[in-house]
Amino acid sequence: MTQTVSKTSRGDREAFQMSPRRKTALVAGVLYLLTFVSIPTLSLYNQVKGANYILGPGPDTAVIVGSILEIIVALACIGTAVALLPVLKRQNEGVALGFVGSRVLEAATIFAGVVFLLSVVSLRQAGVGAAGLVTAQTLIIMYNRTFLVGQSLMPAVNALLLGSLLYQSRLVPRVLPLLGFTGAVLLVASDIGVLFNLWGQTSSVAVLAALPIALWEFSLGVYLVVKGFKTPEAVKENAKTGGRSMGTPPDDVNDWN
């Protein structure tokens, strides 16, 4: 009787234990959702981007808080790629490493942008006055262009790389990477329009063009947290009907655990 109870208890514990693959999906999903904490910076940076901010008394709290949020986002960007690498490299190691590289590059541009804004704050605190106006405005321009490349163009590259791996492997519903592909095309088109001064970087056109890619990343994060990757059996069943060009799912189910 005692042995039966012991086996039952052990079975219950094993049932509640999360497999490494599920943990990977959960961590990656949480990190993807964490990248949205920088949304408040759209308003937090209004003052520092003002033409005469460097001449005013501050305050600097909004800029500092926004910078901290962006640093969190940069670290989360790297974390998503690192967390997904063990799963993605089974599909295509080269593309998976390319995704890691693109996420790291995105994070690097975010860090650079934070440095530009904090430099403006430092100039104001140093009391440079009107003599620092040109420098401050230059730093703001550099931030805007860095944002265009790092937080607008690179997410499109990320969507193409990650989306292609997820689409072929069918680890998530194919509608998700398709949304990423659509968002990537719209985002690149919007960025080109900004470069040619067809519309502003914060115009309604640019904002609308960025929504699909934001929805792709948010939906992917939610799906990975709630559902995780599809089971090996489901992936293998889907692979029998095609879609194995990017890599063959492991034949050993234990490789996915």
**Average pLDDT of 49-60?**
85
Structure-token match 């140093």, residue found: 126
Q: Tell me what percent of the residues of the chain surpass a pLDDT of 70.
A: 83
User: Around 125, how many Cα atoms within 13 Å sit in the side-chain half-sphere?
Assistant: 11
Q: Is 249's pLDDT higher than 70?
A: no
With contact defined as beta carbons under 8 Å apart, do 26 and 224 qualify? yes
Cα(150)–Cα(157) distance, integer angstroms = 10
Locate 178 and state its tokens: 């398709």
Give the pTM.
0.84
Q: How confident is the model at residue 248 (pLDDT cuts 50, 70, 90)?
A: very low
Question: Does the N-terminal peptide bond of residue 20 adopt cis geometry, omega within 30 degrees of 0?
Answer: no
Enumerate residues 6+ apart whose C-beta is below 8 A from 139.
116, 117, 119, 120
Q: Tokens in use for 33?
A: 């959702």
